[in-house]
Structure 1
Amino acid sequence: MSVNHTAPEATGNGRNETEEERADRKWGELIQEVRVAQTGVQILFGFLLTVVFTPRYADLGDTDRTIYIVTVVLGAAATGALIGPVSLHRLVSGRRVKSQAVEWASRLTFVGLVLLLATMTAALLLILRVATHDGYVPWLVAGVVGWYLLCWFLVPMLVRIRHTTK
């Protein structure tokens, strides 16, 4: 059994941790983030799955049914991407590839967030179309999507750019 006895090194972020310690920390942080996103997508996906069994579903027009089907498929894809890191960890656990697993899990999480954004957008579009039938629905949806983009991507990227050390 080989053990890495490498002395802890500063990683440039003020931490004094080994590569394995850093991978463990990043894994823990990532899993906490995934838990938050998984809860949202699972609640939304569960709701979406029940819609087809309601009497109102039969009254939907072709466009709204198409939006519904696209929304369910996006929700299923988001669920898969956000649960993927758990499966990845389970399948590679003990193989001494944690830092690579963290990289791939991070990618899956990002894809899951993008798919969750698309799912929420499509669900909002469908709900507002059915609830109002008004021409301003696309504008409302665009405003909410803009808000999601600001909160989920723009602000984090601005913080990243502003506080990245070279």
Structure 2
Amino acid sequence: MPEAEQDGSRRRGRNETEEERADRMWTELIQEVRVAQMGVQILFGFLLTVVFTPTYDDLSGTDKTIYIVTVVLGACATGALIGPVSLHRLVSGRRIKPQAVQWASRLTLLGLALLLVTTSSSLLLILRVATHDDYVPYLVAGVVFWYLLCWFGLPMWARHRHTTR
């Protein structure tokens, strides 16, 4: 009987135990979160300054509403993308890393979805203020489609194509 089966640990495709797999997946997840956190924090920081500019008072009611919704979305995205760090810190040493990785992954996906909406609504606000043209919603819809394709469509296609054979 293989040694891994004798000691009760289950090995998978990479010949790693569940704990080793959780450690590897955690490291990969944190690297991914760092990229997303940087983007959302820069965007959120920029959004927070807008209200203090003299031109904020000149925005229409609709534009102010878009701004407020965008700031709230940015705050939510920031929370979701920082959540895995807090989760790890609070459960560290409790021997539940595989479950923590699963929850952190879910928070990261939620954070990415919120970042997509935050970025899109920021673009909508900026283009509305910059151009006042009727084509702005169509342009933003095109960008949203691009985000969906890059962030979710292509990965899901690759996942389906390379894991169902």
Tell me which residue corresponds to 1:141: 140
Separation in 2, partners of 1:125, 1:88: 33
Letter in 2 for 1:151: C
Residues 79-133 of structure 1, C-alpha deviation per residue, up to 9 Å, x if partnerless? 0000000000000000000000000000000000000000001000000000000
Once the two structures are TM-superposed, the CA of residue 39 in structure 1 deviates from its matched residue by 0.2
> Could you list the runs of 5+ residues in structure 2 that have no partner in the other structure?
1-6
1:42 aligns with 2:31: no
Separation in 1, partners of 2:56, 2:9: 62
Tell me which residue corresponds to 1:153: 152
Structure 1 moving runs of 4+ over 6 Å: none
Number of positions where the alignment pairs a residue of Structure 1 with one of Structure 2:
159
1:117 aligns with 2:112: no
Separation in 2, partners of 1:42, 1:7: 40
**Equivalent pair of 1:84/1:108 in contact (CA under 8 Å):** yes
Alignment TM-score, normalising by the size of structure 1: 0.93
Residues 1-24 of structure 1, C-alpha deviation per residue, up to 9 Å, x if partnerless? xxxx54562x23xx1101100000
Tell me which residue corresponds to 2:3: none
Equivalent positions of 1:58-137 (< 5 A) are: 58-137=57-136
SS in 2 for 1:17: coil
Tell me which residue corresponds to 2:31: 32
Separation in 2, partners of 1:85, 1:7: 26
Once the two structures are TM-superposed, the CA of residue 154 in structure 1 deviates from its matched residue by 0.3
RMSD across aligned positions (CA): 1.1
Percent identical: 78
Separation in 1, partners of 2:8, 2:92: 21
> Could you list the runs of 5+ residues in structure 1 that have no partner in the other structure?
none
